[in-house]
Structure formats: C-alpha cells, structure tokens
Amino acid sequence: MDSTSYRERREQLFEYFDRTAADAWAKLTSDAPVSGIRATVRAGRDTMRETLLSWLPEDLTGKTVLDAGCGTGALAVEAARRGADVTAIDLSPTLVGLADDRTPEKLGRGTIRFLSGDMLDPGLGAFDHIVSMDSLIHYKGGDMVAALAGLAARTRGSVVFTFAPRTPLLATMHFVGGFFPRSDRAPAIEPIAEANLRKRIAAEPAMAGWQPGRTRRIKSSFYISQGMELVKA
C-alpha cells in the first residue's frame, strides 16, 4: 500500500517511536517501576498480547508467524517458544535493537528474525499467521483496512490484530491530547466503531473470502484496545 496518508503517518510513527519516545517505550515494556497510569497501560498490553496469542494454535512448531509492528519483541518471543519461526518487524531500528538484546538465547523449538522496516513490505513473503498488535491503531479506517488486505493476501491461516474502538473515553482522550505541546504528542490514535470496521472489511474487494472471527475489548484505565481475528470464510 502506498497512499499518501499512510506514508505520512508512517513517517510520524518512525520519528516518535524511534526517537521521541524510544526511552519511555523501552521502560514501559520492561520490568522497571513505572507510574500508576503507565502500570495500567502495561497491564492492558500484557492482557491483549495473551489474548492474541491464545487465538493462534497452541503448538506452532513448523509454522511461520509475522509479528507486524513487533516493538520490543515480547509477542515474538512467546510465539517462538511455542515453536514458530517468527519474522518480527518494526519501523523503529531502536526498538528492534532492544528487542534483539532482550531475546533469550534459548527459545526452545522456534526462531526469531528481527528486521526494521515496513510491515507491509511484500518482500517479507507469506506466513501461516500474522499478528499486528497496536500497530494499526494510528491509521485512518481506509488505510487500516487496506493494510489488513495486504497482510491477508500473504497469510495462509489467520490475521489477528487490534484496533482502537470508538468510545466516549477515547474520544475525550483524543480531544485533550490536542492541548499538549506538539513536541510531547504521540501520533494520534484513530478510533473506529466495530460495526464500521466490519462494514469496511466486508466491502473491501481484496478481503473477499475473509471474515471477522473472535474479538475481545481490553480496558485497563488509559489502555483501551480491541483485538479481532480474521479467518477465511
């Protein structure tokens, strides 16, 4: 996918996660003490990661998995421990380097290949399963569905991902965030109603043959995210 809006947001995300917030993100995804609000975000992310992993086969031996937007690599490590050969990619070379440093030497039956770049690069190849946790939430609905279509085209099994559900609290947080100094702002999250997302997926020609499966919303104070599974009809 090569839309102007996708490219512009991708560049903003690179700048934020690789430079502006790299240290904060490294701390959030570690065992280091964090503030009360960040602790609830950490807990919410842990629950979401466990949820997405639970939608994959328990035994991933011999299966290939793309961790699309791997961050500091926690999900990739768990998938590899279950036997998967994981390709873990993120826009931020800083976070990818940290993920590589944190990966245990012994992963059991699986492997991890860490890369920095665009998760939609078709040169990555095809996979049995693709996981995209909190890496599509910054893109507008049209770009997000186009990205899902691109991922699904390279998937033999399932795609599991998260989106930001449109809720009054998220709308308020989005509004209040606009008052922070521009240098302190994270790239905006783009909430979308579940019904609207389902409608867009059904209407996307490139998603023919795919349909939503399981879904679960996780709310942990300031962390609000919804997981969804895409399976072949």
What residues contact 189, with CB distance under 8 A and at least 6 apart? 137, 138, 164, 170, 174
pLDDT score, position 176: 46
Name the token pair of 102.
Answer: 């944190």
Geometric angle at alpha carbon 3, from 76 and 141, rounded to 5°: 65
Position 181 confidence tier, pLDDT thresholds 50, 70, 90: very low
Is the model's pLDDT at 38 over the cut of 80? yes
Assess whether pLDDT exceeds 60 at residue 179. no
Of 25-39, 113-127, 151-165, which gets the smallest average pLDDT? 25-39
If you average pLDDT over residues 116-144, what whole number do you get? Answer: 97
pLDDT at 39 over 60: yes
User: pLDDT at residue 59 above 90?
Assistant: yes
Q: Which residues pair with 226 in a beta bridge?
A: 163, 217
Half-sphere exposure of 6 (CA within 13 A, CB side): 16
pLDDT of residue 8: 93
pLDDT tens readout for residues 62-84: 999 999 999 999 999 999 999 99
Task: Please determine, for residue 171, whether its predicted confidence score (pLDDT) is greater than 70.
Answer: no
This prediction has a pTM of: 0.92
Q: What is the pLDDT of residue 173?
A: 55
Whole-number average pLDDT of the chain:
91
* Domain locations along the chain: 4-232
Q: Which helix (H) or strand (E) holds 157?
A: strand 155-163
Report the pLDDT value the prediction gives residue 108, as an integer from 0 to 100.
87
Return all residues near 62 (Cβ < 8 A) that are at least 6 apart. 83, 85
Instruction: Classify domain 4-232 by CATH architecture.
Output: 3-Layer(aba) Sandwich (3.40)
> Which helix (H) or strand (E) element contains residue 9?
helix 4-15
Question: At residue 133, does pLDDT exceed 80?
Answer: yes
What pLDDT, on the 0 to 100 scale, is given for residue 175?
47
Of residues 88 and 107, which shows the higher confidence score?
88
d(CA 153, CA 37): 38
Task: Place 188 in a pLDDT band, splitting at 50, 70 and 90.
Answer: confident
Q: What is the pLDDT of residue 111?
A: 97
Q: How far apart are CA 1 and CA 48, in angstroms?
A: 27
Closest CA to 77 of 51, 109, 103, 97: 103
